[in-house]
Amino acid sequence: MRVGINGMGRTGRLALRAAMGGLYRGADDPRSGNRLDVVHVNELKGGATTTAHLLDFGSIHGRWRERFDVEDNRALLIGNRRIGFSQAATPDAIPWAELGCDLVLECTGTLLKVEQLQGYFEHGVKQVIVVAPVKQSGAHNVVVGVNDHLYEPRQHRLLAAASCTAGAAALLQPRLHAVHAGIPVPAL
């Protein structure tokens, strides 16, 4: 699956690092080879040079193990990979499908209404995953471990992450059920 990322703030950069192997995974991790094919990124602020610098020097994960370069503010060169780069203000200003994107990770945190996200689909994207909650019908908000089993790939083209609060509460849910049922649980 070929992926685009809109918004190269903290979340977008972490998604790109994880997709391309910039985060260390031990040899015993059964998912160590799982990678996404990121083909295009869009970021309004700072340009390609700033984006490349912020990717290279992660404040938490340290320096990436690849060589970075920029091609005329139109592409990031990471190791032997070329990733298209743009600075468009809205999703409908980018020909996502023509750039090879099947799926876009919407990481700006600002496009949270269904009508704001339509530009992706109008430009041929098959699926959009928004990293924040979309509080309207038309988006399938997912909380992993709570309702992710309801996801239907052919039906749900617009996915959204529920709030970080909902995600954190979902992690506690099994513990709360155990405590309520009188089952001893280890301390956190």
Domain boundaries, the chain: 2-132
pLDDT by residue (tens digit) across 71-130? 999 999 998 899 999 999 999 999 999 999 999 999 999 999 999 999 999 999 999 999
Q: What is the pLDDT of residue 167?
A: 60
pLDDT by residue (tens digit) across 53-83? 999 888 887 888 888 899 999 999 998 899 9
- The answer, as to whether pTM is greater than 0.95, is no
Q: What is the pLDDT of residue 30?
A: 77
Lookup: tokens for 143:
């909380």
Give CA separation, 177 vs 68, 84, 139, in Å.
48, 47, 29
At residue 50, what are phi and psi to the nearest 5 degrees?
A: -65, -45
DSSP summary character for residue 170: H
107 included as an active-site residue = no
At residue 32, what are phi and psi to the nearest 5 degrees?
A: -60, -25
Classify domain 2-132 at the CATH superfamily level: NAD(P)-binding Rossmann-like Domain (3.40.50.720)
Which entry of 23, 93, 144, 164 is annotated as an active-site residue?
164
